Amino acid sequence: MTVIDTADPLPRAVARRYRHRYAVLDVETTGLKPEAGDRIVQIAVTWLDARGVVERTWSSYVDPLRDTGVVHVHGITAEHVAGAPTFTQLAPTVASLLAGRVFVAHNARFDWAFISAEMATAGVRLPVRERLCTWKLARRLDLPVANFKMATLAAHWGIQQLRAHDAVDDTRVLVELLREELAAAQRDRVELPVERVAPPTVLERLLSRLRPAAG
């Protein structure tokens, strides 16, 4: 985990209005359905304070204990994950990165479903109580955009995407999107669509037992 430099803090009014600390996250996966056995193959997490200052960043490839799935989307091959830790091995670190922060992702329900399933498989409690979707927040803002895809929003704010569908670069872009959205939301007095979330359900825990936990 590395502390890195970042842009200037957002106005203090942003922190006064929203008072959150954020864990900005992106995952790349073998497919779309954790309940069907799809797994995480790459994860990246960045911490932001209430004024949008990057505090820490962390990432890892993940051995999915199966093939890496949709290589034509994420470009992650067996060679990339060879020797990488399994999610079960990473789960305590991921838990510590997410604890006490608002879980932030673009189309957050997708990332949340995978993180929930993987943490349940690992038998590690997911210490998250609030979730924020940057896609949903963008919809609340009066933006002159054709859609709310990450690439479209990045182009709107002049944020360069270097490697789409790479968790590290997607998280970097998402951090900048969140900063722009927070500033716009504060300016327009828009409430953040922060959702309360719960630990995995009994059904999710049962399904997780069908997934291989470690190699």
CA distances 102 to 20, 68, 82, 112, Å, are: 7, 29, 32, 12
Determine the average pLDDT of the residues in 4-26: 87
Q: Which has more confidence, 71 or 209?
A: 71
pTM above 0.95, yes or no: no
Nearest 5°: phi and psi at 74? -100, -15
E strands of the chain, at which residues?
22-29, 40-48, 54-61, 102-105, 130-133, 194-196
Tokens linked to 142: 């009066």
Determine the average pLDDT of the residues in 188-212: 75
The yes-or-no verdict on residue 3 having pLDDT over 90 is no
The architecture that CATH gives domain 12-197 is 2-Layer Sandwich (3.30)
**Percent of the chain predicted with pLDDT > 90:** 83
Confidence at residue 4, expressed as pLDDT on a 0 to 100 scale = 47
Burial class (CB in 10 A: 0-12, 13-18, 19+), 75: middle
The yes-or-no verdict on residue 155 having pLDDT over 70 is yes
Band of pLDDT at residue 215, cut at 50, 70 and 90: very low
C-alpha 139/C-alpha 125 separation (Å) is 31
When the pLDDT of each residue in the chain is averaged and rounded to a whole number, the result is 91
pLDDT tens digits, one per residue of 30-76: 999 999 999 999 999 999 999 999 999 999 999 999 999 989 889 99
Domain parsing of the chain, residue ranges = 12-197
Q: Are 197 and 125 in contact (CB under 8 A)?
A: no
The string over 200-211, giving b where at least 16 C-beta atoms fall within 10 Å of a residue's C-beta and e elsewhere, is beeebeebbeeb
**Percent of the chain predicted with pLDDT > 70:** 89
Tokens linked to 194: 């922060």
The yes-or-no verdict on residue 7 having pLDDT over 80 is no
Tokens linked to 37: 């056995």
Confidence at residue 5, expressed as pLDDT on a 0 to 100 scale = 43
